[in-house]
Amino acid sequence: MTQASQPDLIIAPRWIIPVEPALTVLTEHALLVSNGRILGLEKCAAARHNYPDTTWIERPNHVLIPGLINAHTHAAMSLLRGYADDMSLESWLSEHIWPAEQQWVSREFVRDGTDLAILEMIRGGTTCFQDMYFFPDEVAAVAAERGIRALAGMIVLNAPTVWAADTDEYLARGLVVHDRYRDHPLVDTSFAPHAPYTVDDDAFKRIITLANQLDVNIHIHVHETANEIQNALDTTGMRPLARLEKLGLLSPQLNAVHMTQLDTEEIELLAARGISVVHCPESNMKLASGICSLEPLIAAGINVALGTDGAASNNDLDMLGELRSAALLAKVHSGNAATLPANVALEMATINGARALGIANETGSLVTGKSADMVCVDLSAPSCQPVHNPLSQLVYSAQRDQVSDVWVAGRQLYGENGFTTMNATEILERANAWLNRMQDNPS
């Protein structure tokens, strides 16, 4: 046995769901980690015999899964959780969120809000997130410091904001972030034009050119509400997807977020262009934006990932809850209880997210050679007993507080002794300091 093949960590849960191959559930197996990567999966007896001196972590009531991937969020908006609820997207944005952001968003706001979001995400088993917000350099810096995998969105808007004044500055400042993190092992970037109704054609054309040159993804809200579609028809004579197709934006690089308003021809177009759809069921339900029809998307072979959206419109960043909501909503919407079975819901929250983000060779499944991004979930809770099927229990019964262990690249970020890279008390104190400021100085 060569030194290079020696594991430095072995995790032995009761069940392992590697996600690839699909529907696989392993028992009496251990996962071997070496230098932050998955060395292999072996029968426990063989692993004990072959590696008697390696550190073992026993999890006798647990299921080990790939880390969950939140393919769309606005992390810093955690500080606006509950700020404006029970209203339509248009009212929520224009009358409450945008004015609050104009008054409060700063580097400090984004750093503290992102820290709070990462604390919540790690505790719930999320090991990777794709963000869209101001000060992406702060998002990237916090993610790198905390050890979570992230894509920081290089945001672009027509309007001036505290981050940038115009398209030139949005792109220039975003590219500085990209250059700073392009070789980072955990943090990367994607272009994040906000939406078709907030970004003009010239900006889209420049983003397409840069995305092709840099080989990075483009991440955009699109077809989120019926009002968005009607307003686009009134102002441009085209539905948003038709406009983006005309501009050349529709390609495998595109992550199209929400997509609650699609007709048959548009679904065929998405499939032909190899686009990934990011489904945010709980935010869409809460804002009454509509329902993304998963059954025809999946039937067309379209890659569908999951996102929470921001905590201001969800109001949590709970990916276990999100995949359960996605599965249940798909069934009632289609009228077919077989729509979105448990294994497919888990795939949406793991390997499909990795495919959407362009990192499927690195994460998203427990496959030899990939990064050891992993989560243990304790199924001994009364709500999960008895365990007839650990995959079903995980999707339909487990809660995020049953997450016992979280690793990214083999580094444990959460375990028996709590968080290893974060001071939860200090982060919560900073979050509540923002609450006090906002309550003392309302907009």
CA distances from 300 to 163, 272, 295, 429 (A): 39, 9, 9, 47
**Domain 68-357, what fold?**
TIM Barrel (3.20.20)
The answer to whether 15 touches 63, Cβ cutoff 8 Å, is: yes
Q: Where does CATH 3.20.20.140 sit in the chain?
A: 68-357
Predicted local distance difference test score (pLDDT) of residue 93 = 84
- The structure's pTM equals 0.97
The pLDDT assigned to 443 comes to 64
Walk along the chain (443 residues) and give the pLDDT tens digit of each residue.
344 579 999 999 999 999 999 999 999 999 999 999 999 999 999 999 999 999 999 999 999 999 999 999 999 999 999 998 998 888 888 898 988 989 999 999 999 999 999 999 999 999 999 999 999 999 999 999 999 999 999 999 999 999 999 999 999 999 999 999 999 999 999 999 999 999 999 999 999 999 999 999 999 999 999 999 999 999 999 999 999 999 999 999 999 999 999 999 999 999 999 999 999 999 999 999 999 999 999 999 999 999 999 999 999 999 999 999 999 999 999 999 999 999 999 999 999 999 999 999 999 999 999 999 999 999 999 999 999 999 999 999 999 999 999 999 999 999 999 999 999 999 999 999 999 999 888 76
For residue 4, the model assigns a pLDDT of 52
Q: Kindly state the helix (H) or strand (E) to which residue 433 belongs, with its residue range.
A: helix 424-440
Residue 33 CA to residue 368 CA, distance in Å, equals 9
Residue ranges of the chain assigned to CATH 2.30.40.10? 3-66+374-408
CA distances from 196 to 47, 202, 219, 239, 247 (A): 53, 12, 12, 10, 11
Q: Which residue is associated with the tokens 């999960």?
A: 384
411-415 and 418-419 strand pairing: antiparallel
pLDDT, residue 442, reads 77
- HSE, CB side, 13 Å, CA atoms: give it for residue 386: 1
Quote the CATH superfamily of domain 3-66+374-408.
Urease, subunit C, domain 1 (2.30.40.10)
Residue 137 forms beta bridges with which residues?
Answer: none
Here the tokens at position 66 are 């790939």
- Encode burial over 65-102: b for 16+ CB neighbours within 10 A, e otherwise: bbbbbbbbbbbbbbbbbebbeeeebeebbeebbeebbe
Q: Max CA-CA distance within the chain?
A: 70
